Amino acid sequence: MDAERMDRGRRAVLKQGGGATLLALVAAAGWLRPEVAGAQAQAQAWNKAAFDTHNMAETMQALGGGEPAQSKDIVFFQTPDIAENGAVVPIGITSNIPKTESIAILVEKNPNMLAAVFDIPAGTEPSVTTRIKMGQSSNIYALVKADGKYYVAAKDVKVTLGGCGG
C-alpha cells in the first residue's frame, strides 16, 4: 500500500517535473550546513530561489542535484490522511536511512512548493515534527539527504474545510 502510494506520488512528480526529474530537490538538503552558526549568517543563507519556485520543475532548477530514490525508510508520523483545516497540517517525518543529513518538506500543490528544510547534525535524531499550511489537498514529499545521496517519499493529504456561515 505504501509502495503503491509512493509510486503514484512519484508518477505525479515525474509528470510535472518532466525530464529534469527530482534532481533539484536533492540539493534542498545540501544548502544548509550545520556549521553555519549565528542567526545573521543563516538569514543571509536563506535560499530565496528555492523557496520562490512555483512548480516542481522550477524547484529542481533552483536547487540542482541528483535524482532521489524512492525510499520506504522515510516514514510519516502524526501526519493525518485528512486535515480538518489546511492552515495547520501536522507533519512528522522520520528517516531511518543511515547518516541522514537533512529532511525537507515539499507540498506539491502549494503556490511555493518548498515548505521547510531541516539540517540534522550528527547526534540529532533524523526526525522532525512541525505544522504546515496547505492550500488544497495535495501530495506531500519528504526529501532526505543521507550520506550524500537523496531519497524521497510521498504522502497524500486531503484538506477539508467546513463549518457553517463562514
Contacting residues toward other proteins, per CB under 8 A: 1-2, 4-5, 8, 31-37, 39-40, 42-43, 45-47, 51, 78-85, 87-90, 92, 107, 110-112, 114-121, 123-125, 127-134, 156, 158, 160-166
Q: How many CB atoms lie within 10 A of CB 161?
A: 11
Q: What residues contact residue 58 under an 8 Å CB cut-off, 6+ apart?
A: none
Q: What residues contact residue 111 under an 8 Å CB cut-off, 6+ apart?
A: 54, 135
Instruction: Provide the residue type at 99 as one letter.
Output: K
- Closest to other proteins by CB, 18 vs 42, is 42
Minimum distance from residue 17 beta carbon to other proteins (Å): 19
Minimum distance from residue 19 beta carbon to other proteins (Å): 26
- Check if the beta carbon of residue 152 is closer than 8 Å to that of residue 25: yes
- 60: region left, alpha or beta (phi > 0 left; psi from -120 to 50 alpha): alpha
- Closest to other proteins by CB, 8 vs 69, is 8
Minimum distance from residue 147 beta carbon to other proteins (Å): 18
Minimum distance from residue 94 beta carbon to other proteins (Å): 10
- Closest to other proteins by CB, 19 vs 35, is 35
- Closest to other proteins by CB, 67 vs 156, is 156
Per-residue cell: 129: 515534527
Interatomic CA distance for residues 105 and 114, integer angstroms: 6
Beta bridge partners of 163: none
- Closest to other proteins by CB, 8 vs 18, is 8
